[in-house]
Amino acid sequence: MKNLHLYVLSLMLTVVGVTLCAYKVQRLGMPLSPTDQTEVWTVEARISFSGRNRAAKVDFFYPSAPPGFAVIDEDFVSSKFGLATETEGVNRKALWAARNVRGSQSLYYRIVLAEERSANRTRTEPKPRYPEVPEFPEPERSAVFSLLDDVRSESADIASFTRELLQRFNDPTPDEDVSVLREATDDTLGRVREIQQILAGARIPSRVVQVLRLEDGMRQGTLQPWLEVYNGSEWLSFDPATGDGGFPDNYLVWMSDDNPLVSVEGGNPATVEFSVARSNREVMGVAQQRARLIDSSVLEFSLFSLPLATQNVYKTLLTVPLGAFMVVLLRNFIGVKTFGTFMPILIALAFRETELLWGIVLFTTLVALGLILRFYLERLKLLLVPRLASVLIIVILLMAGVSVVSHKLGLESGLSIALFPMVILAMTIERMSMTWDESGAHEALMAGLGSLFVASLGYLVMNNEWLSYLIFVFPELLLVLLALCLLSGRYTGYRLSELRRFRSASLPKQN
């Protein structure tokens, strides 16, 4: 194949660019659009207890990779206590210790979470052993087995089995078996444990999970037990009160075990209160913070690691390739005539400051005035370089003049003319007047209008909030742009303008 090398190169560039971009979107949760906001929950656990004038140790479980959430930030406030953290199975545990503890004490744990609906919520760890069938005393024993038989006959797998069991167990008008079983206990945790026992009767592994319902403004929340059963490959969660599967949104899994949430050694038993607040944050900030937590080197070497002022420079600079690619399209596929290849892009950059309409007005005014003066200079028969310098000086004088006049008139937009690239303007005026002389006013005006058109379009593309955001956050997309430019470099088809240029190729003869 003729351009195989080029195709392979472009493909590689595209793959690298897209892969990096996909990694940042998928793994780091960087959003593809700038206005995305996400809900952020701040959960604070306050552990209070009173000391007994001696050394005290506090063990406290805190969330570890809760499903449906991304941990953005967490910290501990422990005053004089020493803090150590450790991982215990799938849970994480904070160990506070202090030598002489007296009076009432408060320890704080704070976690900031972002919702992550798209994330994979499957929980597979740890792999449990299959429980032995417990020794139930009568009459429980026959109640359990008769209930299990009923449930088994109306279910297909472990998920439906559990759901059916929970529904029967929670039936407001329970049958005899369930009544017997429900008599044993009244509180929720006790019931969940009872259900665990019944499930063990069918040799289904299960565990208690402690969840916190997140509600904005909640001040004294507590954990509630939730049920999870193991189906051989993953843990399935069920609302123990209804049998509904899964964790509802806004339910935070705090720990996966039946252990006490907090235990105190050398002090009175502790109480834990949860307070919750919700806020909205920009997704980008969240993603950055997250990447910092999971220690991703991608962000370490991204443009975000630069000082803010430099970042802003790059925000502008990175849009230039977009403009350049647009020029490629307009020139090689459409066939628009312009003065200079990338001159319109520089004009478009200037338009960023002036806004489009004012940019066009100011540009046209400057070029028109410049052209008139340039035609006058033509009569003086100056040599090239002095003439160019003269045009440059005239352009600057005109810019200053326009600024002063518009300021006096109260048109502040006129001031932004100062940001026009004057050398480029001078060259444009020079080339336009040359074209005017050599090929006539028509050609000159067409190319002038072409330049203005490309500049305006360039402004729209380069100033597009979404595109400039995308290219700044995912600069690797420039590789894709590069690939597209390389491919365009071998486009040998007709330009749109050629369909018109060559139209006489098929015209009949006329006289």
For residue 277, give the nearest of 42, 39, 37, 63 by alpha carbon: 42
Residue 382 vs 478, nearer CB to another protein: 382
Q: Which alpha helices (DSSP H) does 296-421 contain, by range?
A: 297-300, 308-317, 320-328, 343-354, 356-380, 384-408
Residue 87 vs 506, nearer CB to another protein: 506
Which tokens belong to 458?
Answer: 């360039």
Half-sphere exposure of 168 (CA within 13 A, CB side): 26
What is the rounded radius of gyration, in angstroms, for the C-alpha atoms of the chain?
36
Residue 130 vs 491, nearer CB to another protein: 491
Is residue 204 a contact partner of residue 230, using CB atoms and an 8 Å limit? yes
User: For the residues of 393-409, what is the DSSP string, one character each?
Assistant: HHHHHHHHHHHHHHHHT
Residue 4 within binding range of another protein, rule CB under 8 A? no
Residue 129 within binding range of another protein, rule CB under 8 A? no
Long-range CB contact pairs, 370-379, < 8 A, 24+: 370/394, 370/395, 370/398, 370/425, 370/426, 370/429, 371/429, 371/432, 371/433, 371/436, 374/429, 374/430, 374/433, 375/433, 378/433, 378/437
CB of 445 to another protein, least distance (A): 13
Residue 442 within binding range of another protein, rule CB under 8 A? yes
Residues 1, 4, 383, 409: which binds another protein (CB under 8 A)?
A: 383
CA distance 418 to 416: 5
Residue 129 vs 381, nearer CB to another protein: 381
Residues 137, 172, 307, 508: which binds another protein (CB under 8 A)?
A: 508
Stretch that binds another protein, among 45-53, 261-269, 288-296, 435-443 (CB under 8 A): 435-443
Residue 376 within binding range of another protein, rule CB under 8 A? no
Site string for another protein, 330-359 (x = CB under 8 A): --x--x------------------------
Residue 389 within binding range of another protein, rule CB under 8 A? no
CA 251, 252, 258: angle at the middle one, nearest 5? 110
The β-bridge partners of 255 are 210
For residue 127, give the nearest of 237, 192, 205 by alpha carbon: 205
Residue 324 vs 328, nearer CB to another protein: 328
Q: How many residues bind another protein (CB under 8 A)?
A: 31
Residue 408 within binding range of another protein, rule CB under 8 A? no
CB of 335 to another protein, least distance (A): 8
Tell how far CA 477 is from the center of its chain. 16
Stretch that binds another protein, among 90-98, 266-274, 383-391, 463-471 (CB under 8 A): 383-391
Residue 308 vs 507, nearer CB to another protein: 507
Residue 1 within binding range of another protein, rule CB under 8 A? no
The DSSP code for 329 is: I
CB of 371 to another protein, least distance (A): 17
For the chain, how are helix, strand and coil distributed in percent, rounded to 5? Answer: 50, 20, 30
Stretch that binds another protein, among 130-138, 178-186, 379-387, 411-419 (CB under 8 A): 379-387
CB of 343 to another protein, least distance (A): 15
Residue 217 within binding range of another protein, rule CB under 8 A? no
Cβ contacts of 146 within 8 Å, gap of 6 or more: 177
CB of 370 to another protein, least distance (A): 18
CB of 374 to another protein, least distance (A): 13
Residue 494 within binding range of another protein, rule CB under 8 A? yes
For residue 42, give the nearest of 214, 212, 271, 288 by alpha carbon: 214
CB of 7 to another protein, least distance (A): 15
CB of 379 to another protein, least distance (A): 11
Residue 5 within binding range of another protein, rule CB under 8 A? no
Strands 224-230 and 235-238: antiparallel
CB of 115 to another protein, least distance (A): 50
The DSSP code for 241 is: T
Residue 309 vs 507, nearer CB to another protein: 507
Residue 511 within binding range of another protein, rule CB under 8 A? yes
Number of neighbouring beta carbons within 10 Å of residue 1: 7
CB of 434 to another protein, least distance (A): 8
The residues of the shown chain that bind another protein, judged by CB under 8 A, are 332, 335, 381, 383-385, 434, 438-440, 442, 489-495, 498-500, 502-511
